[in-house]
Amino acid sequence: MQTVSASLDKNQDMRPWYAHRWPWLLMLGPVAVILAGIHTTMIAFAAQDALVVDDYYKQGKAINMDLRRDRVAADMRLEMDMSYDAAKGVVNGSLSGLQNNEAILLSLVHSTQPEKDIKLRVQPDAQGRFSATVPMLDIARWQVLVENEQRDWRLLGSWNWPQERRIAIKAS
């Protein structure tokens, strides 16, 4: 009986490598990593990175101009308060510190998808209140930019919709 089991073990060891399960189990990890790398490469080439701009040097040079506009807004003591009524699709706000009833440009910039950016031209009343119809906002972090048409000043803030129902921006 001993010789039969010994010969079975000997025959089992004589099988080719691909007939054993251990080489396949050991190859499973590297194959999974290769497949994950291929999938990651496909995602990287298929999706455009909207956060990187082509003219970064030009935008970097414009930072000093933007800081000047921020200082002008601070000198004017501009403050904006805005809310969004999702049921009506209306943005309501008020802008204090504005000397005249000039039209303002209101930009809602989506954090990652430029095609969802919203640009509005609104006319505040004598008290600085304004209202505008806006399509449904996505749940996202929005950059809110308020400026006059001549782009002499600007207010810039970040708004997490819908966690924050209102946004208040004060020039500083």
Three-state DSSP string of 73-138: HHHHCCEEEEEEECCCCEEEEEEECCCCCCCEEEEEEECCCHHHCEEEEECCCCCCEEEEECCCCC
Calculate what percentage of the chain has a pLDDT beyond 90: 38
d(CA 170, CA 162): 20
For the chain, count helices (H), then strands (E).
Answer: 4, 8
What's the pLDDT at 132? Answer: 92
> Which whole-number Å values give the CA distances from 159 to 6, 81, 82, 111, 156, in the listed order?
76, 12, 10, 10, 10
Query: How much is the pLDDT for 58?
Result: 61
CA distance 60 to 135: 32
Give the tens place of pLDDT for each residue, 38-70. 999 999 888 766 666 666 666 665 555 668 888
| pLDDT tens profile 84-106 | 998 898 999 999 888 777 889 99
- Domains of the chain are 2-46 (no CATH), 56-170 (2.60.40.10)
Q: Which two tokens stand for residue 94?
A: 């008020």
pTM: 0.63
Q: What percentage of the chain reaches a pLDDT higher than 70?
A: 81
Query: For the residues 108-130, what does the mean pLDDT come to?
Result: 89
Contact 27, 20 (CB under 8 A): no
Asked if pLDDT for residue 3 goes beyond 70, the answer is no
Write the pLDDT tens digit of every residue in 12-27.
578 899 999 999 999 9
CA 165, chain centre distance (Å): 19
More confident residue, 108 or 3: 108
Token duo for residue 157: 């803030």
- 4-8, 28-32, 75-79 — most confident range: 28-32
Mean local confidence (pLDDT), 107-111: 87
Structure token pair of residue 129? 């209140």
- Find out whether 93 and 104 touch, Cβ atoms under 8 Å: no
Task: pLDDT band for 121, please (50, 70, 90 cuts).
Answer: very high
Residue 131: its pLDDT value, please? 93
